[in-house]
Amino acid sequence: MNHPYWVAFSSIVFKEVRRFMRIWQQTLLPPAITMVLYFIIFGNLIGSRVGTMDGFDYMQFIVPGLIMMSVITNSYGNVSSSFFSNKFQKSIEELMVAPVPNWVILLGFVIGGVSRGLACGLIVTALSLWFTDLQVHNIWVTLSVILMTAVVFATAGLINAIFATKFDDVTIVPTFILTPLTYLGGVFYSVSMLPEVWQWVSKLNPILYMVNTFRYGIIGISDIPIFAAYGMLFLFMGALMSWALYLLHTGRGLRS
């Protein structure tokens, strides 16, 4: 694979991976510590009083959601902070003057974000084995949904960074939109426990579909039909990637 685009793509990905590995104390360690606390407090201490959820131990029920939560926040956070830092330091100009097509830039940053998301997901999965037994119900569903979710949120992170003009702008979306949607996305509970109207409202939250499909892949239960989840993931991937490409093409936030 010596095509210039492939070399440029792998250069971007390598740079992104090197960045989050270099600052692992900020990128890989915090999600590990946070998730261990979730396992101890929600899974062990509170979970032992909650009993079972849809026929599974509470710990077994929440682990897929917590893995997914870590993948979502880290895929998003990696691209939004890295791309914005590149903009802020003007080092994005290194890419803008080079003969790298916009779709290569997009894919490079997205795969960089996906790499960190999956690395964190893997760390959290490994840590969860201290607290519960994990048996994968459907490996293909598990892998495909986590990969597609990481791609969706890494792309969303890039769009956030393109619009951002200051560092506050890359923290607003995760704090006020991503975290609430994740908590309300069925990580800690089954939506079937909610009154019917709130079940309907919950189904407007795309993260609910991702969490439930991943949970289906791990333990074989889901509150929603998994094909609907795949449909939504494809829709989001297509829409967000098209939007990001359009923004890169117009030079929004990059070229005056």
Q: Which of 25, 99, 195, 197 binds another protein (CB under 8 A)?
A: 99
Residue 138 near residue 216 (C-beta atoms within 8 A): yes
Stretch that binds another protein, among 7-15, 116-124, 165-173, 187-195 (CB under 8 A): 7-15
Answer for which of 49, 51, 89, 204 binds another protein (CB under 8 A) is: 89
User: Which of 37, 120, 29 has its CA nearest to residue 71?
Assistant: 120
Distance separating alpha carbons of residues 157 and 197, to the nearest angstrom: 31
Residue with tokens 């990969």: 147
Would you count residue 4 as binding another protein (CB under 8 A)? Answer: yes
Residue 100 found at the interface with another protein (CB under 8 A): yes
Does 255 contact another protein by CB under 8 A?
Answer: yes
Q: Decide whether 4 or 180 has the Cβ nearer to another protein.
A: 4
CB of 60 to another protein, least distance (A): 41
Residues forming contacts to another protein in the complex (CB under 8 A) are 2-5, 7-8, 10-12, 14-15, 18, 22, 85-86, 89-91, 93-101, 251, 255-256
